Amino acid sequence: MTDSPSFQWRGYAQMQLARGDHRGALETLRRALAEDPEDPEAHALLSLVLLALKRPHAAEHEAGLALSLEALLPLAHYAAASAALARRRFKDAGQHIKNLLELEPDDTQNLLLQARFLGLTGKKDGKREVLQRAHALSPDDPATLVALGEDALERGDVKHAMQWARDALSAWPEFQDGLVLMGQVYLRQGRIEDAREHALWALRQDATDEGSLRLLAGIKARQSRLLGLWWRYSMFMGSLGDSKSTLVLLGAFVAYRFATLAAKDLGQPGLAGIIQLVWLGLAVYTWVGPALFQRMVRQELASVRLDPRF
């Protein structure tokens, strides 16, 4: 019934979810389910809210309840796939996405979820094809434009990533993910102040958004003497892709071994020791760098405190 209290609460929760008020949506959906405990759409929406609040186990449970109530509900499969991805259950996620696309093959959000799944499972060519299809279906959708920009940035194509970010922000000037993408592009270009401006602009939209906080932490890492070199190395290796970065690492190891053996053959054991120490230092640095960066992100996340009534 479209005039039922449950339907009305659910509609209000969808508006709250769209504007990032996840805690508000949580309370609203609790009211909806108090009116109708067997409302499958309310359970599916609650699953998505719980995912946004970093509660994947509870989200998976709610998605399961939604599917048990209505097995062919697209939103329930979307929620179940999203929860499975959050828990790294790729087999389950793939099955739900398959079911979802059978029900709604031309829905842009479903295609973006499929692209995310393909990216997480290493199928980057397939991901790009799906994103292109989503763009053909919804050329002005900001989420699709951002996804295309993120894909370009992953490949080191900063020029096209910038264009996708501009297109996304033209479609929606205050789109959170678009602001973060533009900040990431500026950071890659070394335009620190522009990157910081976009990070703060994004945080004004949602102070708890992990992407925005990660961008802010990336800016600090870029400026840090300790982490700046690691950040540049990480960005360079990421732009090469898995195959090329593996070849670079293998080449560096071969060069290290060759230099060490050559120094010993030339009767320079001291030089060989120095080369080994330098290599060990680089290895430790590249191992510790990500941990320090994640610690910086956690500190940024921990610094955010919202009014519980928000």
**Residue-wise pLDDT tens digits, 129-167:** 999 999 999 999 999 999 999 999 998 899 999 999 999
How is residue 171 written in tokens? 């479609």
Q: For the CA atoms of the chain, what is the radius of gyration?
A: 23
What is the pLDDT at residue 48?
Answer: 96
pLDDT tens, position by position, 13-45: 999 988 888 899 999 999 999 999 999 999 999
Q: Please tell me whether residue 25 adopts helix, strand or coil conformation.
A: helix
CATH of domain 1-104: 1.25.40.10
Closest CA to 30 of 3, 54, 9, 56: 9
Q: pLDDT tens digits, residue range 102-130?
A: 999 999 999 999 999 999 998 989 999 99
C-beta of residue 205 within 8 angstroms of C-beta of residue 20? yes
Domains 1-104 and 139-239 agree in fold: yes
Write down the pLDDT at residue 74: 97
Which token pair is 246?
């593996």
- Tens of pLDDT along 253-296? 788 777 888 877 788 888 878 877 877 766 765 666 566 656 65
Q: CA angle 278-223-231, nearest 5°? A: 50
Q: Taking the model in full, what pTM does it have?
A: 0.76
DSSP 8-state code for residue 1: -
Convert the pLDDT of each residue in 51-94 to its tens digit: 999 899 999 999 999 999 999 999 999 999 999 999 999 999 99
Q: What is the pLDDT of residue 103?
A: 97
The class that CATH gives domain 139-239 is mainly alpha
Confidence tier at 305 by pLDDT (50, 70, 90): very low
As a three-state string, the secondary structure of 92-137 is: HHHHHHHHHHHHCCCCHHHHHHHHHHHHHCCCHHHHHHHHHHHHHH
d(CA 16, CA 49): 10
So what's the pLDDT on residue 274?
A: 85
Under the banding of pLDDT at 50, 70 and 90, the label for residue 251 is: confident
Q: Find, among 155, 185, 190, 189, the residue nearest to 167 by Cα.
A: 185
Over 70: is that where the pLDDT of 46 sits? yes
> Helix H segments across the chain?
5-18, 22-35, 40-52, 56-69, 74-86, 90-103, 108-120, 124-137, 142-154, 158-171, 176-189, 192-205, 210-223, 228-265, 269-302
Summarize the confidence of residues 170-192 as an average pLDDT: 94
The answer to whether the CB of 154 falls within 8 A of the CB of 161 is no
Q: What is the pLDDT of residue 65?
A: 97
- The per-residue pLDDT for 160 is 97
Longest distance between any two alpha carbons in the chain, whole Å:
88
Please check whether residue 83 is in contact with residue 95, taking contact to mean a CB–CB distance below 8 angstroms.
no
Q: What residue ranges do the domains of the chain occupy?
A: 1-104, 139-239, 241-309
How far apart CA 269 and CA 101 sit, in angstroms, is 63
Q: What's the pLDDT score for residue 310? A: 33
How far, rounded to the nearest angstrom, does the alpha carbon of residue 177 sit from its chain's CA centroid? Answer: 10
Tokens standing for residue 147: 């996804």
| Token code pair at residue 193 | 């102040």
